[in-house]
C-alpha cells in the first residue's frame, strides 16, 4: 500500500481499452483505490458487483471505468438517435451532476455522449439533449420516469445498469420508482449490473438479488467503520456556549474548508446567520435553495470562494466534495451511521482531516450509541468558557408568509368560497 492508502494495482496493468486508459491518465489516476482494485477485475470479466463503500473511496470512477470498458467492447449500431446504453441512477441531483462531471473527464477520449436528467431546472434543455441521443443516461428517478413516459428515450438498449447510494434511495422513498425503471431494462443476465451502497442492508441486498445477475459482494474493510486518518474529538458545551465555541473554532481554522452538520434545517439557517454576522463566509444548503443556487454554492465551496458549508444529513448525503479539512458536528446525529457518513467528508484519498463534535445538552444522549458503533471513545477536548469570543447576534430573518390568503384562479381573480346557503348541495334527505 502506498502512503495515500491506494492499492498496489495499477490501472495500466488491467486489460483496459487505450481510450479508457487515456481518460484515467488525464484524471491523474495511476493506482487503484481499494474499492477499485476489488470491483474492477470482477466487472471487467462481465460479472455483476454489489459493493459496500462510502463516498470518497473512488467508487464513482470504479463503475464509470467498468461501464466505458463494457461499451467499448460491446459496440451497438443505431439507425436513428442513440439510445441510452448506460443507465445510472443517483438519489440526489447534486450527486447526479458530480457523476456526470466525472464521466465527462474519464470518458472524453471515448466519444460517448452523456445526458443528465434531474429535477429543479433545465427541463427543456435536458429533454432536448436526451431526445437528440445519448450513450450514458445519468439522473434521479423522478425526472427520468417523466421523460421515459413521454417517450423521449427507450431503455431497451441498456447494457450497463448502475445504482449508486442504494441505501439512500430507500431513505428518500425512491424504491418504487427504482423498481419501475429496472423492470423496463433488458433482463439482468443481458446487461452488466453495478450497485454501490454505504451499507449492504437486508433491503439493499433484496433489491440486488431481485434485479441483478448473481452479484459478487465486495466490502471494503467493513470492520473499520471510520477513516483511519480522521482525528476525532468532542466538546461538551452548554447550549448557550455552542455558538460562541463554534465561531471561535472556525476563526482558529483560518482559511480551511469546513463542513458543519446540524440536525434540523432551521438550525442550518440559524448557524449561517450567526457565522455571517460574525464575518465568516458561510452558506446553508437545503432542499429549499433553488437548484442553480445549490450548484453554484457547491462550486464556490469546492473552489474555496465559500469557506463554510452547513447542512443536514438529508441535504448533504452523497455530495462529493474534495479537500474538506474539518467536519464539525454542531449537533450530534441521532443516527450512529450518520456520524460515520459525516466524518467521512474529510480525510479522503488518504489525506488527514479533523472531525469535531459538540456533545450538547440536547443531543448528548446519542453519544454512547455512536461510540459503540465506531468501537472507541471519542477523545474529549476542553474549553474555558471565559475565553469564548463575544459574538454579534444576527438580525432576525423576515417571516415567510404562511399562505393564509385567498386562493387565486389562474387569471388572477380571487377564488371565493361559496356563500352560505349557495353552491354545494347536501346529500341525503332534507331536514325539516
Q: What is the 3-state secondary structure (H, E, C) of 290-314?
A: CHHHHHHHHHHHHHCCCCEEEECHH
Residues β-bridged to residue 49: 194, 216
Q: Which three cell numbers stand for residue 350?
A: 488518504
CA atoms lying within 13 Å on the CB side of residue 124:
0
Distance of CA 31 to the CA centre of its chain: 25
Q: What is the end-to-end Cα distance of the chain in Å, rounded? A: 90
- Please say whether the beta carbons of 352 and 228 come within 8 A: no
Q: Which three cell numbers stand for residue 286?
A: 437545503
**CATH assignment, 230-387:** 3.40.50.300
CA atoms lying within 13 Å on the CB side of residue 382:
2
Residue partners of 175: CB distance under 8 A and separation at least 6: 169, 203, 207
Residue 334: name the closest of 263, 275, 277 by CA.
Answer: 263
- Please say whether the beta carbons of 155 and 89 come within 8 A: no
Residues β-bridged to residue 192: 160
Cα 85 from Cα 103, distance rounded (Å)? 14
Instruction: Supply the pLDDT for residue 344.
Output: 78
Cα 319 from Cα 101, distance rounded (Å)? 13
- Please say whether the beta carbons of 121 and 294 come within 8 A: no
Residues β-bridged to residue 376: none
Distances (CA, A) of 264 to 244, 269, 341: 19, 9, 17
In sign, the C-alpha dihedral spanning 299, 303, 305, 308 is positive
Q: Which helix (H) or strand (E) holds 37?
A: helix 34-44
Residue partners of 28: CB distance under 8 A and separation at least 6: none
Q: Return the domain boundaries, the chain.
A: 11-219, 230-387
SS3 263: coil
Q: Is 414 exposed, middle or buried (0-12, 13-18, 19+ CB in 10 A)?
A: exposed
Instruction: Supply the pLDDT for residue 92.
Output: 86
**CATH assignment, 11-219:** 3.40.50.300
Phi, psi (deg, nearest 5) at residue 376: -160, 160
SS3 162: strand
Instruction: Supply the pLDDT for residue 340.
Output: 82
Length of the chain equals 432
* 291-303 and 93-106 helices, crossing angle to 10°: 60
- Please say whether the beta carbons of 11 and 21 come within 8 A: yes
Cα 212 from Cα 50, distance rounded (Å)? 9
- In the block, which residue shows the cell 463554534? 246
Task: Spell out the per-residue pLDDT of the chain, length 432, in tens.
Answer: 333 457 889 999 999 999 999 999 999 999 998 999 999 999 999 999 999 987 777 899 999 999 999 999 999 999 889 999 999 999 988 889 989 999 999 999 999 999 999 987 789 999 999 999 999 999 999 999 999 999 999 999 999 999 999 988 888 889 999 999 999 999 999 999 999 988 888 999 999 999 999 999 998 764 444 555 788 999 999 989 999 999 999 999 988 899 999 999 889 999 999 999 999 999 998 767 777 788 888 888 888 889 999 988 766 665 667 678 899 999 999 988 888 888 877 766 556 689 999 999 999 999 999 998 888 899 999 999 999 999 999 988 877 665 544 444 444 444 444 444 444 444 444 444
Amino acid at each position: 500500500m502506498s502512503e495515500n492508502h491506494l492499492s498496489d494495482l495499477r490501472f495500466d496493468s488491467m486489460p483496459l481499452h487505450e481510450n479508457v486508459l487515456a481518460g484515467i491518465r488525464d484524471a491523474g489516476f495511476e493506482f487503484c483505490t481499494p474499492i477499485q482494485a476489488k470491483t474492477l477485475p470482477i466487472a471487467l470479466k462481465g460479472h455483476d458487483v454489489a459493493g459496500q463503500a462510502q463516498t470518497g473511496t473512488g467508487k464513482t470512477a470504479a463503475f464509470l471505468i467498468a461501464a466505458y470498458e463494457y461499451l467499448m467492447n460491446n459496440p451497438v449500431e443505431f439507425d436513428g438517435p442513440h439510445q441510452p446504453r448506460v443507465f445510472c441512477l443517483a438519489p440526489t441531483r447534486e450527486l447526479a451532476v458530480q457523476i456526470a462531471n466525472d464521466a465527462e473527464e474519464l470518458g472524453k477520449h471515448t466519444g460517448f455522449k452523456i445526458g443528465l436528467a434531474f429535477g429543479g431546472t433545465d427541463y427543456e434543455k435536458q429533454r432536448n439533449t436526451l431526445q437528440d441521443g445519448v450513450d450514458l443516461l445519468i439522473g434521479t428517478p423522478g425526472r427520468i420516469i417523466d421523460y421515459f413516459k413521454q417517450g423521449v428515450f427507450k431503455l431497451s438498449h441498456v447494457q450497463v445498469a448502475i445504482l449508486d447510494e442504494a441505501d439512500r434511495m430507500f431513505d428518500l422513498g425512491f424504491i418504487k420508482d427504482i423498481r419501475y425503471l429496472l423492470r423496463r431494462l433488458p433482463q439482468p443476465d443481458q446487461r452488466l449490473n453495478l450497485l454501490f451502497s454505504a451499507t449492504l442492508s437486508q433491503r439493499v441486498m433484496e433489491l440486488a438479488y431481485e434485479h441483478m445477475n448473481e452479484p459478487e459482494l465486495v466490502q471494503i474493510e467493513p470492520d473499520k467503520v471510520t477513516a483511519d486518518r480522521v482525528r476525532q474529538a468532542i466538546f461538551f458545551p452548554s447550549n448557550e456556549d455552542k455558538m460562541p465555541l463554534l465561531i471561535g473554532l472556525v476563526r482558529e481554522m483560518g482559511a480551511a474548508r469546513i463542513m458543519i452538520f446540524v440536525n434540523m434545517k432551521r438550525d442550518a439557517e440559524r448557524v449561517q446567520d450567526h457565522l455571517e454576522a460574525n464575518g465568516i463566509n458561510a452558506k446553508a444548503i437545503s432542499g429549499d435553495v433553488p437548484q442553480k443556487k445549490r450548484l453554484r454554492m457547491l462550486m464556490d465551496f469546492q473552489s474555496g470562494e465559500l469557506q463554510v458549508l452547513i447542512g443536514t444529513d438529508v441535504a448533504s448525503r452523497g455530495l462529493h466534495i474534495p479537500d474538506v479539512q474539518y467536519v464539525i458536528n454542531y449537533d450530534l446525529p441521532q443516527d450512529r451511521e450518520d456520524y460515520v457518513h459525516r466524518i467521512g467528508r474529510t480525510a479522503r484519498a488518504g489525506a488527514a482531516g479533523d472531525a469535531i463534535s459538540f456533545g450538547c445538552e440536547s443531543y448528548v444522549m446519542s453519544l454512547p450509541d455512536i461510540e459503540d458503533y465506531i468501537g472507541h471513545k471519542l477523545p474529549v477536548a476542553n474549553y474555558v468558557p471565559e475565553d469564548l469570543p463575544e459574538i454579534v447576534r444576527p438580525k432576525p430573518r423576515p417571516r415567510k408568509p404562511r399562505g393564509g390568503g385567498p386562493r387565486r384562479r389562474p387569471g388572477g381573480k380571487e377564488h371565493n368560497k361559496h356563500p352560505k346557503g349557495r353552491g354545494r348541495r347536501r346529500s341525503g334527505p332534507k331536514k325539516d
